[in-house]
Amino acid sequence: MRELPSSRRRVLLSGMLGTALATALSRLFPIRMAQGQTTEAAMPAITYPETRRSDVVEERFGHRIADPYRWLENDARRDREVAAWMAAQDRTARAYLASLPARESFHARLTTLFDHERLTAPQQRGGRYFFTRNAGLANQAMLIMREGADGPDRVLIDPNAWSSDGTRALAEWSASEDGRLVAFGVQESGGDWRTIRVLDVARGAFLEDEVRWARFTTLAWAKDGSGFFYSGFPAPADDTRSAAPVGGHAVHFHALGTAQAQDRVVHATPDQPHLVHVATVTDDGRYAAIFSSPGSGGSTPTIVDLSRPGWPSRTLVSNFDHFWAVIGCVGTNVILATQQGAARSRIVSFDLAAADADFVELVPEQDGTLSDAVLLGGRLVASYMVDVKTEVRRYRLDGTPDGAVALPGIGTAGAFRGRLADNEAFFTFTSFNAPTTIHRYDVSANVSTIWAKADVTIDPRIVVKQRFYASKDGTQVPMFLLRRADITGPAPTMLHVYGGYGISVVPMYSPALLAWVERGGVVAVANIRGGGEYGKAWHDAGRLLAKQNSFDDVIAAGEYLKAEGIAAPNGLAIQGSSNGGMIVGAAVNQRPDVFSAALPGVGVMDMLRFDRFTGGRLWVNEFGDPADEADFRNLLGYSPYHSVRSGAAYPAILVTTAEADDRVVPAHSFKYVAALQAADLGDRPRLLRIDTRAGHGTGKPIPQLIEELTDMLAFAARWTGLV
C-alpha cells in the first residue's frame, strides 16, 4: 500500500494514456445487455477448493478470537499445503474469469489503450537530461539520456533484458550533479527490497559498487559525486524476503569504490526502530535533509551540514504531531512545508545560522491544500488542491505572491523538476480524460510549452463532472464522475476508493477507467475521509478511532449514486487497492446490499495481526495498535476477515493479490477469501486471483498488468450488467 510518504509527499503521476473513437465501439463490443441487468445463464458452477479449518483461538481483552485460517500465513515457498491451496484457488478463479463474455474485448481494448509512448519529466544534470520511457507494451520502462533537452535519445538502462519474464524492474534512480553517473535500484518481482547499482554514463558500464537491502528509499548524490545517500534495513537474518517484521531503518552514505560494510550511518533512531527515514540533498550540496516518519500522522525534519567535519545534524522538530517536509534551502535558510498551525499546510523558513532561530512564515495557509512545493528559477512554486483540482501558484523567495502557472485545464499538475538557479523546469499534467503531457517551463517568463505528449485521440463524448454528496454525519464529500455524454440514465458504475494515509485521489488518466466508460459505464471516484484532499483534518477524520467515517463515506457514495439515477439499481461495483482494498472489504461487510460486485486488491484484511508482518508496524499510526484495548475493539469492529456476515446476500467478489507482495503480505487476502467461501453469503462467486512473481503493484510488467485489469473489468461488467 502507498502508506509510506515521499520526501515531499508528492502526487505521483503515472498516466496511462489512450481512448477509442465512437466508430470503433460497435466493432469491439458487439455483445450488449440491458444496462444494470444480470443473468445466470451459461455461467459455470463454481466448486471452491477445500480449505482446512484449525482450532486456533486467542483470548484478547475479554474476547475469544477464532483464527481458523492462520495456517495460511505460512510462506508458500516453504509450506506445501499453502502452495497447493494457493494454486487451487488461482486455477478456480482463472477458469471462471476465462469464461466471462467481455474478457476478450476488454483485453483487446486495454492492449490498445496501453500501446503508446509514456515518458516521465526529465532530470537535468550537467547538461544531460535523464528520464524514463516505455514505448507502449514493453514489460518495463527504460532509462533514457539526451545531450540537451531536444537531443537524440540514448538508452542507458533497459531492464527488459534483465529477466525472461520481465519481472525485474528499474526502481528509484538519480543522476550525479555532473551527469556522469547514475545510481539506480533494481526491483525483483514487485518486492520492496532494492539492490542499488551505479552506471558510468559515458562508458555505458556498471561500476563494481553494489548496495543490498535498501528499502523505502530515495537516492541522493553528494555534490562532488563521491557517493550517494540511501535508506535501508539490516539484512534479514535468513537472507530471504520473508514476511518477517522489519525494523531499524536508517539513512546511509555509500562512498564509491568501497564495500557496503563500510557505508556510513548518517541518521538512525535505534530507540524508535519503527520510524522510516529518507534523505535528499539541497541544490547547493551543502545540506542533506532527512525526513523521518512513523508512517502516518506526522514527521520530523533533520538537517545534516555536509560542509562541516563530522557532518553534524540538527533535528528541527522533536515530535510527530504534524507533517513537516523540507522544500529546499536558500543560503542558510531552510524552506519547509508544515501542517503545524495549518491543517492544509503553510510554508515557513528557518535560519540555520541563527542561534535563536524560530520558524518564520513565508506563505500562510491558503484556500487549497498544499500538495507540493519546489524552488525553481529563483521562485517558490507551490501546487495546491482546490476541491481536488490543481492550481499552481508562484511566490518570490520572501513569500510575496508572484502570479500563477497557467495549466491546460482542470486536472492534476505535478512532478516538477528543476533547480533554484536554473530558469528551465519541467512538470506533468493529466486528468481523467486527458493523457499525461510533459511541459517545459520557462520560470522567468512564466510560460510553458509541451515537451512530450502521447499521440492519441480522445473521444470528445467523454466528460468529467464533480459532485458533492452528504455522508452519514452530514459531511460533504467530493466525487468525480466520468461518463460518455450520451449516457444519461442509470448505468453500471464503478466506484473507486482509497481513503487513507493522507493520500489524495486526484484526476489521473487511466486506461482501465476509460475502457469501462467507453463501454457505456460510469466511473465514480469518491474522495472519502482518510485521504489528504482537505489536509490534516480530512486525514484525521478517517484514521485511528475515526476510521468508521471512511466506511460511512463509501456507503453514502453508493446510496447517492443510486438515488441520483447515476448507478443502475443492481449495477454498482466497488474497487480499491491496498488501504483501499481494506475499505472495500469493510464497507461490503457492513452494507453488502449496496454493491453488486466488489474488487478488493492487495488489501489489509486482518486488522488484528497486520503489525506482525514486514513493515506492518509502520501502519499503527494510521489504524491503531492491536495491543491497545481501545484500538483493538475498534479494529475488531471493522476487520474484513473478522466481520464477514454469514446469512447476508453478498455481492460477487474478486480478490486480487500477488504471491511476492512483501508490503501487504498475501496472507491477508488468503484468510479473507477463506472466510468468505466458508460463510453463507448467497450464490454469487467469491474468488481469489493470485499473480506470481509480482508484488504490491509497482514494477509489474505491462502485459501482466493488462491481464489483471482485464479480469477485473470483465468480472465487474458481468455482475453489474454492463455486459
Catalytic residues: 578, 696
CA distance 197 to 186: 8
- Backbone phi, psi, residue 48, to 5°: -75, 145
Cell numbers 473507486: residue: 496
Torsion of CA 472, 476, 480, 486, to 10 degrees: 80
* Angle ∠(613,617,618) on CA atoms, nearest 5: 125
Closest by CA position to 245, among listed 278, 217, 215: 215
Neighbours of 263 (CB within 10 A): 18
| Three-state secondary-structure class, residue 477 | strand
Q: Are 584 and 576 spatial neighbours (Cβ–Cβ below 8 Å)?
A: yes
* Angle ∠(375,380,382) on CA atoms, nearest 5: 105
CA distance 720 to 38: 7
Which residues, including other chains, have CB under 8 Å from residue 688's CB and lie 6 or more apart? 89, 90, 92, 93, 655, 657, 669, 670, 673
| Three-state secondary-structure class, residue 490 | coil
CA distance 592 to 596: 8
Alpha-carbon torsion 204, 207, 213, 214, what sign? negative
Q: Are 68 and 55 spatial neighbours (Cβ–Cβ below 8 Å)?
A: yes
Host H or E run for residue 27: helix 22-28
The b-or-e profile of 354-381 (16+ CB within 10 A means b, else e) is eeeeebeebbebbebbbbbbbbbbebbb
The amino acid occupying position 406 is A
Compute the radius of gyration of the chain from its Cα atoms: 25
The amino acid occupying position 413 is A
| Three-state secondary-structure class, residue 708 | helix
Q: Are 411 and 120 spatial neighbours (Cβ–Cβ below 8 Å)?
A: no
The b-or-e profile of 48-85 (16+ CB within 10 A means b, else e) is bbebeeeeeeeeeeeeebebbbebbbbbbeeeeebeeb
CA distance 571 to 88: 30
Closest by CA position to 669, among listed 20, 82, 28: 82
Closest by CA position to 414, among listed 10, 3, 4: 10
Neighbours of 316 (CB within 10 A): 18
Neighbours of 104 (CB within 10 A): 13
Which residues, including other chains, have CB under 8 Å from residue 63's CB and lie 6 or more apart? 636
Q: In which region does residue 251 sit, left (phi positive, over 0), alpha (psi from -120 to 50) or beta (all else)? A: beta
| Three-state secondary-structure class, residue 617 | helix
Q: Which residues make beta-bridge pairs with 687?
A: 654
- Backbone phi, psi, residue 172, to 5°: -65, 145
CA distance 8 to 71: 40
